[in-house]
Structure 1
Amino acid sequence: MIRLLFALFLSLSSVLPALAVNPDEVLADPALEARARAISAKLRCMVCQNQSIDDSNAELAKDLRVLVRERLTNGDTDEAVIAYVVSRYGEFVLLKPRFEAKTVILWGMPVILLLCGGVALVVAARRRSAGTPGAPLSDKEKEELDKLLRS
């Protein structure tokens, strides 16, 4: 029974993203529809912000999906459609930011933070190992230690 419910859950969860695009939005030409889906997957929903317009059910996402399909049917290239949407909504509309001079920090920050963390770990390890050594054992303590080790 649990397996059946799990299988039902998986099948429904895999269908839900496909339901975001309404049947009246789908283009008759499969090649254009595939291009529209690919472009829509690259564009951020400005309402949901962490979803693509292809996955979102927001009205703005629907309007953007229709806009993408209209521009493609008018003969625009994929790059022209993306450039048009970026010109209207800014770079934030792209789910994957472009690698440009102004986004170098954005792309380089994970590497910089990883290096800083590694340096901090090395410094902490060296400080810990360079700590002050303990006082030497007295003769009585050495004898007790020998007894414990022999027994």
Structure 2
Amino acid sequence: MRYLFSILLMLVLTVPAMAVQPEEMLADPLLETRAQSLDKVIRCVQCQSENIASSNADWAKDARVMVRQLLTEGRGDQEIMSFFVERYGERVLMTPQLNGSNLILWIAGPLMLLLSFAGIFLYSRRTKPNSSDILTAEEEARLQELLKD
């Protein structure tokens, strides 16, 4: 029972706390829902591995406030994302857009994987034993004789 309690306590304590503070939340539940969905797709430029919804950095807090301010001004989700992209570049998006130079990066990984498989396939076809590599009956008998000694 003691171990079960310890495990449960560890699980509860390791659940990440949401960084959005109560004073940041909007009164309108529809706008707050939109704000929370936007918070999940905008990257914290200070942390770089977290979205602004889960980051406790000062920049992320300011960005969350800015998202809510832009929503109350009546801006759309795409406009808000464009607002952040204009100021911080595409690295501010958790999933970069599929266009321009990003397209090369999106295609490079799978392409390299296919080229690797093709290289392995061609190498394995080239190194198959041919008829000259197979022992004749006499050579096989001689080999067995040598191995017995």
Q: Percent identity?
A: 35
Amino acid at match of 2:6: L
Q: Partner of 1:12 in structure 2?
A: 13
**What is the alpha-carbon distance in structure 1 between the residues aligned to residue 140 and residue 43 of structure 2?**
74
Q: Partner of 1:53 in structure 2?
A: 52
Change (3 A) 1:8 1:133: same
**What is the alpha-carbon distance in structure 1 between the residues aligned to residue 30 and residue 85 of structure 2?**
23
Q: Partner of 2:122 in structure 1?
A: 123
Q: Partner of 1:34 in structure 2?
A: 33
**What is the alpha-carbon distance in structure 2 between the residues aligned to residue 128 and residue 56 of structure 1?**
53
1:1-151 to structure 2, matched below 5 A, reads 1-14=2-15, 16-18=16-18, 20-130=19-129, 133=133, 136=136, 137-138=138-139, 140-141=141-142, 144=145
* RMSD over equivalenced CA pairs, Å: 2.3
Change (3 A) 1:138 1:79: closer
**What is the alpha-carbon distance in structure 1 between the residues aligned to residue 84 and residue 143 of structure 2?**
79
Give unmatched runs, 5+ long, in structure 1: none
Runs of 4 or more above 4 Å deviation: 142-145
**What is the alpha-carbon distance in structure 2 between the residues aligned to residue 80 and residue 139 of structure 1?**
78
What's the offset of the Cα at 1:139?
Answer: 7.3
Amino acid at match of 1:72: L
Change (3 A) 1:143 1:110: closer
Per-residue CA shift, 1:8-55, capped at 9, x if unaligned?
2222333x242x111211111221111111101101111110110111
Secondary structure of 2:127's counterpart equals helix
Change (3 A) 1:120 1:6: farther
